[in-house]
Amino acid sequence: MTTTVQEEDSVTAGSTSAPWRIGTRGSLLALTQAGTIRDALIAAGQPAELVVIKTPGDLSSDPVQTIGVGVFTSALRDELALGGIDIAVHSYKDLPTAQDPRFTIAAIPPREDPRDALVARDGMVLGELPAGARVGTSAPRRAAQLRALGLGLDILPLRGNIDSRLRKVSEGELDAIVIARAGLCRIGRTDEITESLEPVQMLPAPSQGALAVECRSDDPQLIEVLAGLDDAATRAAVLAERSLLGELEAGCTAPIGALAEIVESIDEDGRIFDELSLRACAAAIDGSDVLRASIVGAPKDAAELGRALARELLDLGARALLSVTDEPAPTDFTNSSPMENNR
């Protein structure tokens, strides 16, 4: 079920051409993300407006791993296919890894900080939380890596928009939450963060912090214009991470972490060149084991680097590890608030 609400105040003043319609979910975070694309198009002289689409995921309070993150993107894609919108803006990590030939990811703008963030009571960092501290998170990946740290934390499920999640800490319902730092950055709430978790502690989800700007594949003019918003380094990093996820045949709620970065290297003649560094992990949901691996190569080989690292994880036993399902029974901390699309 979808409904659309169009903004009337974002069309370029005095323009006679029809504005491009940008589909988005209605949360503050989703609107902020889509708004950056609208503003960039307007700055380039192209009228644009936001169209808010309600998705089935916004109406559900069930855990994400139960309903599947596809419910947050399929409604936008349906509207795009029907011509109700011209562009869809997704949190890239919510998209399935399999490509849909109807659509093209025409732009991946520069990535926001991909790390996870801790928001804890009394300004505590992760290592200061006492054993038994109640920590909320929406992602099995985070839960698995938190358990693997052996801190004795009580990991609880978390749903709701960013404000409702933060309130669970400020009102004492939880001692801490772990969420994507990118979302807090985009809505100007980084002052709430008590610790940004480094990848050595917790690898983020593949493509976390990146946006996917999608349009129909049969619209070459739109593809060409949107390509001006693309960031080559972000695209290479995301391609490597998602290729790894696809090779593992793991869904985007699986306990898989991955982070690719473009780094500078120096050859034997002293010349500087770019390399793509990819780190990944596969974790048992109960925290009993975490497999880690890394690879370095040319950015142009991003997809193959991701697949190669996935095969290494499989050789190390990732398939069996990902089948571990004896997660402790969670306390129900769900609510009816719409979920942010950059968890």
Claim to verify: residue 135 and residue 24 sit in the same structural domain:
no
In a domain, 257, yes or no: yes
Does residue 14 form part of some domain?
no
Q: For 215-267, what is the HEC assignment?
A: EECCCHHHHHHHHHHCCHHHHHHHHHHHHHHHHCCCCCCCCEEEEEEEEEEEC
User: Catalytic residue numbers?
Assistant: 94
**22-26, 72-76, 260-264, range with the lowest pLDDT:** 72-76
Asked, for residue 60, whether it belongs to a domain, the answer is yes
Q: Do 33 and 101 reside in the same domain of the chain?
A: yes
Residues 216 and 268 reside in one and the same domain: no
Distance from C-alpha of 332 to C-alpha of 159, rounded to nearest angstrom: 10
pLDDT tens readout for residues 210-265: 999 999 999 999 999 999 999 999 999 999 999 999 999 876 678 999 999 999 88
Strands 154-157 and 116-120 turn out to be unpaired
Residue 326 counted as domain residue? no
The Cα 340–Cα 118 span in angstroms is: 17
Give the Cα separation of 65 and 51 in Å (integer): 27
203 in a structural domain: no
pLDDT band at 58 (very low <50, low <70, confident <90, very high): low
User: Residues in the chain, how many?
Assistant: 343
Q: Span 297-316, mean pLDDT?
A: 97
pTM for the model: 0.86
Is residue 135 domain-resident? yes
Least confident of 45-59, 147-161, 223-237: 45-59
Whether residue 99 is found in the same domain as residue 218: yes
pLDDT tops 50 at residue 339: no
- Give the CATH number, domain containing residue 31: 3.40.190.10
Are 151 and 74 members of one domain?
Answer: no
| Domain assignment of residue 68, given as a range | 20-109+210-230
**CB hemisphere CA count around 160 (13 angstroms):** 17
* 336 domain residue, yes or no: no
Lowest mean pLDDT: which of 12-21, 65-74, 83-92, 281-290? 65-74
pLDDT of 59 reads 52
CATH number of the domain within which 314 lies: 3.30.160.40
Based on the fold, state whether residues 71 and 183 are members of the same structural domain. no
Domain identity same for 102 and 218: yes
Do 218 and 257 share a structural domain?
A: no
Q: Are residues 292 and 168 in the same domain?
A: no
Does one domain contain both 75 and 220? yes
HEC sequence for the chain: CCCEEECCCCCCCCCCCCCEEEEECCCHHHHHHHHHHHHHHHHCCCCEEEEEECCHHHHCCCCHHHHCHHHHCHHHHHHHHHCCCCEEEEEHHHCCCCCCCCEEEEECCCCCCCCEEEEEHHHCCHHHCCCCCEEEECCHHHHHHHHHCCCCCEEEECCCCHHHHHHHHHCCCCCEEEEEHHHHHHCCCHHHCCEEECCCCCCCCCCCCCEEEEEECCCHHHHHHHHHHCCHHHHHHHHHHHHHHHHCCCCCCCCEEEEEEEEEEECCCCCEEEEEEEEEEEECCCCCCEEEEEEEECHHHHHHHHHHHHHHHHHHCHHHHHCCCCCCCCCCCCCCCCCCCCC
Q: Are residues 176 and 243 in the same domain?
A: no
Same domain, 129 and 188: yes
Tell me the pairing of strands 211-216 and 103-107.
antiparallel
Give domain status of residue 12, yes or no: no
Domain count within the chain: 3
